[in-house]
Amino acid sequence: MADRGDRRDMSVIRAEALRKTFGGGAVVAVDDADFTVREGEFISLVGPSGCGKSTLLRMVAGLLDRSAGTLSIHGRDVTGPNPAVAMMFQKPTLLDWRTAIENVLLPSEIGGRVTDDDRRKAMGLLRLAGLEDFAFSFPSQLSGGMQQRVALARLLQTGADILLLDEPFGALDEFTREHLNVELMRIVGEVGATTLFVTHNIGEAIFLADRVFVMTPRPGRIAGIVEVPFERPRRPSLQQSAEFNALVSKVRATFETETTAGEDA
Amino acid sequence: MADRGDRRDMSVIRAEALRKTFGGGAVVAVDDADFTVREGEFISLVGPSGCGKSTLLRMVAGLLDRSAGTLSIHGRDVTGPNPAVAMMFQKPTLLDWRTAIENVLLPSEIGGRVTDDDRRKAMGLLRLAGLEDFAFSFPSQLSGGMQQRVALARLLQTGADILLLDEPFGALDEFTREHLNVELMRIVGEVGATTLFVTHNIGEAIFLADRVFVMTPRPGRIAGIVEVPFERPRRPSLQQSAEFNALVSKVRATFETETTAGEDA
Amino acid sequence: QDTTTINAVMPKQRSANYFPLIVGEALGYFEEEGIEVNLLPSDTPIPFVNFLRNGQADIAMLDSAEVLQAIAAGVDLNVIYEVMQTAPDGIAISGDSSITDVEELAGETVGLVSDRDRVTMQIALDARGMTEDDVTTVVVGEAGPTLAAAFRDQTVAAIAGSGPDWLAIQANGIPVKLITPEEVSNKPGNTFAVMASTLEEKGDAIEGYLRAWSKGMYVAEVDPEVVAQIARTAVPEEWEDPEFGQQYLNNAIRLNVSVTETLGGLNTETWSAIQPGMQKFGLIDEQVEPDRFLQPGPVEAANDFDRAEVEEEVAAWREANM
Amino acid sequence: MSDEGDLGAVAAKGRTRGIVARHAGILVALVAAWEISCRMGWLDPLFFPYPSAILLGFWRLYITQGNIWPHLGLTMLEVLVGFLAGSALGIALAVCVGMSDRLRRYLKPYVVVLEATPRIAIGPVIIAAFGFGWTSKTAIVMLVCFFAPFVNTLNGIVGVEPEKQSMFRSMGASKVQTFTKLLWPSALPEISAGLRLAMASALGGALVAEFIASNAGLGVLITQYTGTLNMASAFVCVLTLSALGYFIFRGMEELDRIVVFWSDGDRTDAMSRRRKAAWRAKMGTTS
Amino acid sequence: MGHLAIRLVPVIKHLLVFAGLIALWELAAATGVIDVILLPEPHKIAASIWELYVENRTIYRHFIITFYEAFAGFLVGGVLGLALAVGSSLNDSFRRYVSPYAILLNVTPGLALTPIVIAWFGFGYSSKIALGAIVCFFPVFVNTLLALTRTDEDTLEMFRSMGASRAQVFWKLRVPAALPMIFAGFKIAITTALVGAVVAEFSQATAGIGVLMQRLSFSLNMSAAIAALLSMSLLGLILFSLIEILDDRVVFWRRTERMDAVGRRRRARWSVTDAATPGEPQGRKNLT
Ligand SMILES: Nc1ncnc2c1ncn2[C@@H]1O[C@H](COP(=O)(O)OP(=O)(O)OP(=O)(O)O)[C@@H](O)[C@H]1O
Ligand SMILES: Nc1ncnc2c1ncn2[C@@H]1O[C@H](COP(=O)(O)OP(=O)(O)OP(=O)(O)O)[C@@H](O)[C@H]1O
Ligand SMILES: [Mg+2]
Ligand SMILES: [Mg+2]
């Protein structure tokens, strides 16, 4: 690669001393977060419930104004939603009155007129998600996992190169989840998108990520960053390896020093 | 132990060629299941979504009539709900208008008059669940994990010696879930109950069980039974051990030969 | 020529009750005057006078209490025609009742067709030296069946109301007797009233309206059968039971046809006589000179038609239609 | 607002022939009991005319005289226009209010007060204000039809999941797009329930308006008949109203099933097939 | 103090908006945009309110009468609706035979029924109560029926697994679970009952706010008539609030403060001789 400018060019998301408070400063949701995400990187964000993961993501998506600090995407200050950034939520948030394909086409519709190219792309994404046969089913006719895959296809239909995923598979059973993780990794790899992925599940976080950001409970700080050295493509069996388990233990440790064991939020 | 009668005495639940169909035979939910559960044993039941785990449990609870085969508990044929069997569901199903302690007392109320002994027992169970301080809180004032612990206390209040749990912690985040698993194991061990535990999570299944039953997708058959050799009491760190991971791989293998990868119901 | 629309507010829709209107329309009398009548039937609790004031209506059929209240409230109202001279307010009892005089009502329950008939009852009682406290009152409402049942079953000893209220009941064969004291019967009947300003602006049309009305009224004197035939086509609803229809019409004719020399003639004396009673019972604050609101001019114009011509027309119509 | 639709659905579920027969049996028995009661003098024919007389009345009003038709037509017109205008206004206002928090805050007290006022009592005031023409009658029906759609639409719009709204924002959707593609369809089931409630009361509103001031309409016919103590014919009008109301109610339920197709499994399947065919037809020609 | 000031700000804003609207109305009346004969100016209405409520106090009697009619109508209609809904929820064929007639009764305008109702119940208050009951029956019936039949399947299964009897399921599960929706029905019903009472008063009554309003408007006292109309709104608000307060008490498990209060009371009543009653939780654990 040519040395165009300095390394900064490579960083897609940059946050410095990022801070978000609610209720006039009463609740500090995110405190003093510093991080950069490089182009094409896959970042997992883990932390206990209520530590500010969603808040952080929503700031990056431009859905929430920050209280202090700087936050830029592709070097430009974040002031509102940005077509280069797309977000996926824990719940599939599909529209009940649209078929799967129509749901996938929603971003194109919002962007302007829907062309046949958009339609072909949408169908292709559904195929990628293994849902070609269900393109004309309505959400209520799909299982939870299928719905999430539709939502994933919709996310990719936006054409955004930065993907934010907020516990997208939290509500699914482990098998479906594992399968979707593999799919996600493959698709994201193909598209070459930069990804921020929030999860509760440490194994999942490590399995998917290039780096894992561990957050502390209120006020949410980024307490540690764990590099994941495994080669890609990764196979599910990786999760039974000793190295993998060592890494899980390491993240867990970063975690448990911060969290009082076993208290639920 | 004295050799009272033959081994049959030890088996609490016996199923032979058990079968359940829905829709006049159109859907075979459980097919030809054969198994026995011994006194005080902890069985985990894993299998993909829709394979018939819940159906199996509901037959054992006497909530659903079987279509064919035999099913007996303590040697007696199952024909309906049985006070020796108690069931817990994925949702806590607490009554919103009752305080935690009143929810725990529900089984006693349904059984007849509530005595002071019942009250003492209920309070004791809440203490066991770490919820003594919340005895007079209402469900909506409790977190999801706390609600599940109340449901667990209610389950034990029934005094049943056979406990059926259908993905009781499926809706909780991993940390809470892990904590409750340890609690469950401890409490069940203390009470000495025979337990059938349904889960999606293989790690959890192995961690808790004496034996793991693996089911195949439609028609639901018991494809394999995996013995779990680990000593009790077990500690969470067990899950990082190599033996544990080997066992996970083994269960997963039983599984993957049966399941077409990643298809959800 | 172009026609003028007269908006007329009256308590009910077209009916044998207003046969001069339907006869006048059938025989083309209104048309001859270049008038089209737009009937605005409205429930009595609505203050008709307000519609005269804001110009939504040109002419209203009012009872004497309404007229006096409006005058008292400072409305520049003119009474120009007495429509139903023999339909004054009164006290009625069931035909089977043994009561013969208002005196005997002491301690009984007296029904009021509507809250406004209270004054009628008060004046009637006053004529016998009694007050409202000597009886129990209950409003029975204007709905036909309830009123009829009240008569038939004698759930109340007597009912205060006005002539048209008993029309249907009598026609249905439920006997009704009147025990109205003299003092009350001397009340003016229903009148046509207009705003003074309307009379200035649309005087001709109003006079034409009254003339057509008078001619319609006169037809009943000439040939009641023609009226019946006209009513039958105009309001078939009232003739589903022909016997009832005829009875009903007969009663209506009795109430409508003027007893004064001129059709619709105004009677200054009754307007003075009625006022002390109304003042006593608080309906009006002070008495008003009848000359201030009685406007006899239009009555003259209304009677200005050739009766022989009407008789001929009726005969011709009979020839053609019966 | 309660969702009355489900009750109808409950009733509709059992629409097999046997049940219809049994219902008819019960109805005949009731009518017979009524007739006998009248003949035995237990019921007062002044208030409960002979069923046989009512039947004859139907024959008379609908066939031989045929005089009910114009009145029926006018009442239905008033109901229709008032309902359409009132619910359109209610929905439109709710949309404005639903999109603006501030407007909602300031409007709420007035809505609460108006809602607590018996609408019928405002009838005479409206006639007084709007005069005798069709406007006043339409205005009364409108007023009666305004609230249920207003309240339900507002609830529907305000109740849209915040996550879905965030999703639209993150896609950079405009206010109009958010409304047409998210808020409106999400609120549709509730709006439809509100419309059903409004329709049920529209009939009552028209009747009141006609009672107060009118030349024609079923309300006028009823006053005319009760005024002349022709109770059998009056009952024909009332029963006509009931039947009208019943069919409108059922019709609205049917409409709900069509519009809110995604809450019904069979309809969803059908719609799914239709969309697929449409896609095939379109994409087949272009690619 | 500063806290109070903050809470007052919205109130003041509302009052300002209100004052602005009134001023606009006055202006419209002064410039003739609004016909003051039909819709008098606010200050005249205010004067009439003063007169009705303070000077000659004629309104209270009517107010109380209509209140009584509407409330009694609500009670009768509510009990009827509840009873039929319970019957329908327990027995399918009962429901099938009852619901078409219930719908029919609902879609028949109450006004058309007044003569019949008066015939049966006479000229007194009972006919107003009866009409109120007839028109308010349906919302209670529908909501109760839906609520009783739509009990959460999982909870139902839990009761069955405990071997609960039908009566136990009904009293311990179906009824309390249905309460919030039943009260929603009550809230609709009580204003409907007021409408019924007023309608009956319009067509036949000796006293009541409906009568008062007719009397006032007939004597061309439009400002007082509108004051009476506003009193009807007030009456509606009072009736509605009564149900709302009751709702808040009975369905206490929706609001944290009420739950805390009830929880404390139940803790105090907890009577087990030797088990020490646990104290207040030290430092509330953080709940989300
Ligand atoms: N709109 C808001 N107003 C006030 N407080 C808020 C708001 N949104 C979030 N918070 C608070 O900010 C903190 C962080 O919330 P956030 O949703 O980011 O947590 P999270 O890490 O995503 O949790 P979870 O894993 O449960 O989704 C919490 O304490 C929450 O109560
Ligand atoms: N009442 C019913 N009527 C018809 N089919 C049913 C019924 N209950 C379950 N089934 C079918 O039986 C099969 C097994 O269902 P079951 O609920 O036992 O699965 P499960 O293993 O518990 O799934 P999950 O993990 O999603 O809870 C499924 O295919 C389901 O569709
Ligand atoms: Mg979150
Ligand atoms: Mg299950």
pLDDT averaged over consecutive 10-residue blocks of chain E (288 residues)? 70 88 90 79 91 89 95 96 93 82 80 79 88 90 88 88 91 92 89 89 85 82 88 92 92 86 88 51 39
Determine the Cα–Cα distance for residues D204 and D201; give it in Å rounded to an integer: 5
Determine the Cα–Cα distance for residues E250 and E231; give it in Å rounded to an integer: 29
Burial C225-242 (b: 16+ CB within 10 A, else e): ebbbbbbbebbebbbbbe
ipTM, 2 decimals? 0.79
Mean pLDDT for the stretch of residues A193-218: 89
CATH superfamily of A1-84+162-180+193-264: P-loop containing nucleotide triphosphate hydrolases (3.40.50.300)
Chains touching chain E through at least 3 C-beta pairs below 8 angstroms are A, B, C, D
Task: Measure CA of the first residue to CA of the last residue in chain C; give whole Å.
Answer: 31
* Residues of E in Cβ contact (< 8 Å) with D129: 35, 38-39
Q: Which atom of ligand 2 is nearest to the CA of A173?
A: 25
Q: Which of B51, B90, B165 to mutate to test the pocket of ligand 2 (most atoms within 8 A of CB)?
A: B51
Other residues' Cβ atoms within 10 Å of the Cβ of residue E81:
27
Determine the Cα–Cα distance for residues A171 and A167; give it in Å rounded to an integer: 8
D271 is written with which tokens? 């719609």
Distance from the CA of D170 to the center of ligand 3, in angstroms? Answer: 16
Contact C9, C60 (CB under 8 A): yes
Question: Which residue numbers in chain B have pLDDT < 70?
Answer: 1-9, 171, 173, 218, 256-265
pLDDT at A256: 67
Query: Which residue among A143, A237, A262 sits closest to B264, beta carbon to beta carbon?
Result: A143
| A50/E288 touch (CB, cutoff 8 Å), yes or no | yes
* Residues of B in Cβ contact (< 8 Å) with A179: 261-262
User: Any CB–CB contact under 8 A between A173 and chain B?
Assistant: yes
Query: How far are the Cα atoms of B15, B151, C146, C237, C254 from residue C169, in angstroms, in the given order?
Result: 84, 73, 11, 16, 15
Distance from the CA of A152 to the center of ligand 3, in angstroms? Answer: 18
Distance from the CA of A228 to the center of ligand 1, in angstroms? Answer: 27
Determine the length of chain B.
265
pLDDT at C1: 58
Dihedral angle, C-alpha A22, A25, A28, A29, nearest 10 °:
20
Domain residue ranges of chain B, discontinuous segments joined by +: 1-84+162-180+193-264, 93-159
- Protein residue with least CA distance to atom 20, ligand 2: B50
Question: Would you say residue D1 has pLDDT above 60?
Answer: no
For A182-198, how does the pLDDT look when each residue is reduced to its tens digit (9 = 90+)?
888 888 888 889 999 99
User: Any CB–CB contact under 8 A between D88 and chain C?
Assistant: no
**Entry pTM:** 0.82
Distance from the CA of B199 to the center of ligand 4, in angstroms? Answer: 9
CA distance B53 to chain A (A): 14
Question: Which residue numbers in chain C have pLDDT < 50?
Answer: none
Window from D40-54, D95-109, E203-217, E270-284 with minimum mean pLDDT: E270-284
Determine the Cα–Cα distance for residues B214 and B211; give it in Å rounded to an integer: 10
D178 is written with which tokens? 């958010």
User: Any CB–CB contact under 8 A between A82 and chain B?
Assistant: no
Contact A194, A12 (CB under 8 A): yes
What DSSP state is assigned to residue C257?
S
For D126-178, how does the pLDDT look when each residue is reduced to its tens digit (9 = 90+)?
776 777 767 778 888 888 888 889 988 988 888 888 888 888 988 888 889 99
Mean pLDDT for the stretch of residues A42-59: 88
D123 is written with which tokens? 């009838």
Query: Which residue among B63, B93, B136 sits closest to E267, beta carbon to beta carbon?
Result: B136
Q: How many CA atoms lie within 13 A of A62 on its CB side?
A: 21
Question: Which top CATH class is D51-259?
Answer: mainly alpha
Question: Is residue A236 classed exposed, middle or buried when 0-12, 13-18 and 19+ CB atoms within 10 A define those classes?
Answer: middle
Query: How far are the Cα atoms of B34, B219, D95, D141 from residue D87, in angstroms, in the given order?
Result: 62, 52, 12, 10
pLDDT at B264: 41
Determine the length of chain D.
287
User: Any CB–CB contact under 8 A between B201 and chain A?
Assistant: yes
CA distance E285 to chain A (A): 9
Return the CATH architecture of domain E45-272: Orthogonal Bundle (1.10)
Question: Would you say residue A126 has pLDDT above 60?
Answer: yes
Secondary structure of chain A in the HEC alphabet? CCCCCCHHHHEEEEEEEEEEEECCCCEEEEEEEEEEEECCCEEEEECCCCCCHHHHHHHHCCCCCCCEEEEEECCEECCCCCCCEEEECCCCCCCCCCCHHHHHHHHHHHHCCCCHHHHHHHHHHHHHCCCHHHCCCCHHHCCHHHHHHHHHHHHHHCCCCEEEEECCCCCCCHHHHHHHHHHHHHHHHHHCCEEEEECCCHHHHHHHCCEEEEECCCCECEEEEEECCCCCCCCHHHHHCHHHHHHHHHHHHHHHCCCCCCCCC
pLDDT at A258: 55
* Residues of D in Cβ contact (< 8 Å) with A136: 272-273, 275-276, 279
CA E59 to chain CA centroid, Å, is: 22
pLDDT at C44: 62
Is the beta carbon of A107 within 6 A of some atom in ligand 1? no
For D225-255, how does the pLDDT look when each residue is reduced to its tens digit (9 = 90+)?
888 888 888 889 988 988 888 888 888 888 8
* Residues of D in Cβ contact (< 8 Å) with A89: 163, 166-167
| C168/D227 touch (CB, cutoff 8 Å), yes or no | yes
Which ligand places an atom closest to the C-alpha of E157? 2
For C98-119, how does the pLDDT look when each residue is reduced to its tens digit (9 = 90+)?
888 888 888 888 888 887 788 8
Mean pLDDT for the stretch of residues A215-236: 85
User: Any CB–CB contact under 8 A between D29 and chain E?
Assistant: no
| B179/A242 touch (CB, cutoff 8 Å), yes or no | no
Angle at D110 (CA atoms; ends D108, D115), nearest 5 degrees: 95
User: Any CB–CB contact under 8 A between E288 and chain A?
Assistant: yes
Is the beta carbon of B148 within 6 A of some atom in ligand 2? no
User: Any CB–CB contact under 8 A between E159 and chain B?
Assistant: yes
Identity at E100, one-letter amino acid code:
P
Query: Which residue among A61, A90, A138 sits closest to D272, beta carbon to beta carbon?
Result: A138
Question: Would you say residue D2 has pLDDT above 70?
Answer: no
Secondary structure of chain D in the HEC alphabet? CCCCHHHHHHHHHCCCHHHHHHHHHHHHHHHHHHHHHHHHCCCCCCCCCCHHHHHHHHHHHHHHCCCHHHHHHHHHHHHHHHHHHHHHHHHHHHHHHHHCHHHHHHHHHHHHHHHHCCHHHHHHHHHHHHCCCHHHHHHHHHHHHHHHHHHHHHHHHHCCCHHHHHHHHHCCCCHHHHHHHHHHHHHHHHHHHHHHHHHHHHHHHHHHHHHHECCCCHHHHHHHHHHCCCHHHHHHHHHHHHHHHHHHHHHHHHHHHHHCHHHCHHHHHHHHHHHHHHHHHHHHHHC
| D118/E236 touch (CB, cutoff 8 Å), yes or no | yes
What is the SS3 assignment for E221?
Answer: coil
- Protein residue with least CA distance to atom 5, ligand 1: A22
More confident residue, D118 or A118: A118
pLDDT at B163: 94
Domain residue ranges of chain D, discontinuous segments joined by +: 51-259
| A176/B201 touch (CB, cutoff 8 Å), yes or no | no
Q: Which atom of ligand 1 is nearest to the CA of A90?
A: 27
Domain residue ranges of chain E, discontinuous segments joined by +: 6-35, 45-272
**Which of D240, D246, D44 is closest to E118 using CA atoms?**
D44
Confidence of residue A58 (pLDDT cuts 50, 70, 90): very high
The overall average pLDDT reported for chain D is 82
**Which of A194, A199, A172, A197 is closest to A92 using CA atoms?**
A172
Determine the Cα–Cα distance for residues C29 and C32; give it in Å rounded to an integer: 5
* Residues of D in Cβ contact (< 8 Å) with C248: 228
Question: Is residue C269 classed exposed, middle or buried when 0-12, 13-18 and 19+ CB atoms within 10 A define those classes?
Answer: exposed
User: Any CB–CB contact under 8 A between E286 and chain A?
Assistant: yes
Rg of the Cα atoms in chain C: 20
Is the beta carbon of A25 within 6 A of some atom in ligand 1? no
**Which of B264, B216, B165, B251 is closest to B32 using CA atoms?**
B216
- Protein residue with least CA distance to atom 13, ligand 2: B29
